[in-house]
């Protein structure tokens, strides 16, 4: 699933490419991807344009220029957004072992055609992602479901400690809970816990003061670093400047199962924790 750094990169790329371009046509081949009445959805978008694109957690928020509406896009597990203009192709979202450069393809369920003939494709292998148009009140209600933004000024140590207060779930489940902290998924939860030397199975109420401080520090540091390197990719995805996301090279535990730990030389273990495949070192993490 694309996480905060990947969605942040997509947001930045789209802001540099499609703002204020008139939407000439919206083509929908899988109506269930759209969570509105389809006629309403297309009528609002046709001849409209995006005035700004923001992010909240893993949710992409596109402000529409005409009318007080917003297009929300959530990529969920396997969603992708692919921008194409002539020979230029910029892809972001879920990584695949094989990435087709032919669009639309069998996984393309919706695409926008803009006035300059560029196109934006929404692909989704497992079809869990969605697009929906909301008004300001609906957007406000939606955003209430999201927890603290880990890269915002509100993500202070004091506020982080308050999230932990009286909780007894394991720390991996805590990090994945979007109602508490918005944007962290499986990749970065594993990396943060490894850097903090905390076992993912640890109960929140067993964390010591220094461990809480270390966890808070590493959440911010690792996410910032991942954004700097334009996210984690496993194939030929590129950004708006034609650069691949390179945080893959910085990963220390995710996808490293059965490899030696970079700290102690022991073996990285993979177990299912909090419903997700979780990588950790049982020697370094306590």
Query: Is 23 within 8 Å of 64 (Cβ atoms)?
Result: no
Of the candidates 17, 58, 230, 279, the residue annotated as catalytic is 58
Q: Position of tokens 């997700």?
A: 276
Beta bridge partners of 131: 34, 73
d(CA 198, CA 259) in angstroms, rounded, equals: 19
Query: Is 269 within 8 Å of 280 (Cβ atoms)?
Result: yes
With CA atoms as reference, report the closest residue to 256 among 274, 242, 270.
270
Of the candidates 3, 6, 8, 191, the residue annotated as catalytic is 3
Of the candidates 65, 142, 270, 276, the residue annotated as catalytic is 276
Q: What angle do CA 94, 98, 101 make, to 5 degrees?
A: 90
56 is known as an active-site residue:
no
Beta strands in 176-252 (DSSP E): none
DSSP letter for 274, please: T
Structure tokens belonging to residue 169: 């779930």
2 is known as an active-site residue:
yes
Phi/psi of residue 58, nearest 5 degrees:
-100, 10
Q: Are strands 130-135 and 269-273 parallel, antiparallel or unpaired?
A: unpaired
Cβ partners under 8 Å of residue 245, min gap 6:
6, 9, 229, 230, 231, 232, 233, 237, 239
Strand order from edge to edge, sheet including 119-124: 23-28, 108-114, 119-124, 79-85, 88-93
> Which residue numbers are catalytic?
2-3, 58, 276
């Amino acid at each position: 699933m694309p996480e905060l750094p990947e969605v942040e990169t997509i947001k930045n790329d789209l802001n540099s490419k499609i703002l204020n371009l008139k939407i000439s046509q919206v083509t929908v081949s899988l109506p269930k991807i759209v969570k509105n009445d389809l006629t309403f959805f297309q009528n609002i978008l046709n001849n409209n344009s995006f005035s700004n694109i923001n992010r909240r957690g893993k949710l992409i928020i596109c402000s529409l220029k005409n009318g007080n509406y917003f297009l929300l896009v959530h990529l969920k597990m396997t969603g992708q957004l692919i921008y194409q203009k002539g020979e230029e192709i910029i892809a972001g979202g879920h990584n695949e072992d094989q990435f087709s450069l032919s669009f639309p393809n069998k996984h393309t369920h919706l695409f926008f055609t803009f006035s300059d003939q560029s196109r934006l494709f929404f692909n989704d292998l497992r079809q869990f992602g969605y697009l929906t148009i909301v008004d300001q009140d609906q957007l406000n209600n939606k955003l209430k479901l999201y927890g603290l933004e880990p890269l915002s000024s509100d993500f202070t140590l004091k506020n982080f400690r308050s999230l932990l207060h009286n909780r007894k779930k394991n720390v991996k489940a805590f990090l994945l809970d979007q109602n508490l902290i918005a944007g962290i998924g499986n990749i970065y939860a594993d990396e943060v816990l490894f850097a903090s030397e905390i076992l993912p199975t640890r109960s929140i109420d067993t964390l010591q003061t220094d461990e809480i401080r270390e966890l808070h520090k590493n959440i911010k540091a690792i996410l910032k670093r991942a954004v700097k390197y334009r996210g984690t990719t496993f194939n030929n995805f590129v950004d708006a400047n034609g650069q691949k996301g390179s945080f893959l090279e910085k990963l220390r535990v995710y996808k490293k199962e059965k490899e030696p730990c970079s700290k102690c030389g022991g073996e990285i273990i993979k177990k299912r924790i909090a419903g997700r495949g979780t990588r950790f070192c049982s020697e370094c993490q306590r």
